[in-house]
Amino acid sequence: MTAVKICGLTRPEDVAAAGALGAAYVGFVFAAGSPRRVTLEGARALAAACPPGVLKVGVFRDDGAAAVRDAVDAAGLDLVQLHRRLTDEEVAAMPVPVIAVARPAGEGFAVPRTEILVRCHAVLFDASEGTGAALDPARIEAAAGPVPVIVAGGLTPESVGDTIRALRPAGVDVASGVESEPGIKDRRRLERFFAAVREADARAL
């Protein structure tokens, strides 16, 4: 199945539900200003609810290396997702593998250099950073990279199938599209999202 990342989790019960439904990744946001931001203590509780085999991802924007390391230690993070321009030195200094982020820029995306991408776990094409802004598949098709591609931006149970059929990404990332309010996941929308991913994958066989 296309890997699913449920991001912006703030409640242990939602972490457990995401894992039970088949999530490959769960995302905890540490970036300042996000309505889904969690504290180190909150992240520990979320991590404790994470089923074995599901990768825990910390999402950061302007946080320094020390803050990232503290979060990795507190929540036992498996990966860090960095929403900023990356340098070789920064990627090398991270205590766990990095998900690089390609952010909207003009008519396309600002993609990290190939020399950086090849050292990353994956690259996330993010159209919204949690705002629900819609994804434009045409902008992503023109920016193929050397590592697995995860796509995010306005994905919902109703739209994710079309995105998978259009792009065949390694993974899809959703936050607001399965929520009743920021940080609060809706179990029925989660179920419908996973069902839509499975259906799209089955049709591609």
Instruction: Provide the residue ranges of all domains of the chain, joining segments of one domain with +.
Output: 3-204
Residues 6+ apart with CB under 8 A from 12: 45, 46, 48, 49
* CA distance linking residue 205 with residue 200, whole number of Å: 9
Q: What does the pLDDT look like over 75-85, one tens digit per residue?
A: 999 999 999 99
* pLDDT tens-digit profile, the chain (205 residues): 899 999 999 999 999 999 999 999 999 999 999 999 999 999 999 999 999 999 999 999 999 999 999 999 999 999 999 999 999 999 999 999 999 998 777 666 788 888 999 999 999 998 766 555 566 666 665 555 789 999 998 899 999 999 999 889 999 999 999 999 999 999 999 999 999 999 999 987 7
Q: Are 171 and 4 in contact (CB under 8 A)?
A: yes
CATH number of 3-204: 3.20.20.70
Whether the full predicted model's pTM is greater than 0.95, yes or no, is no
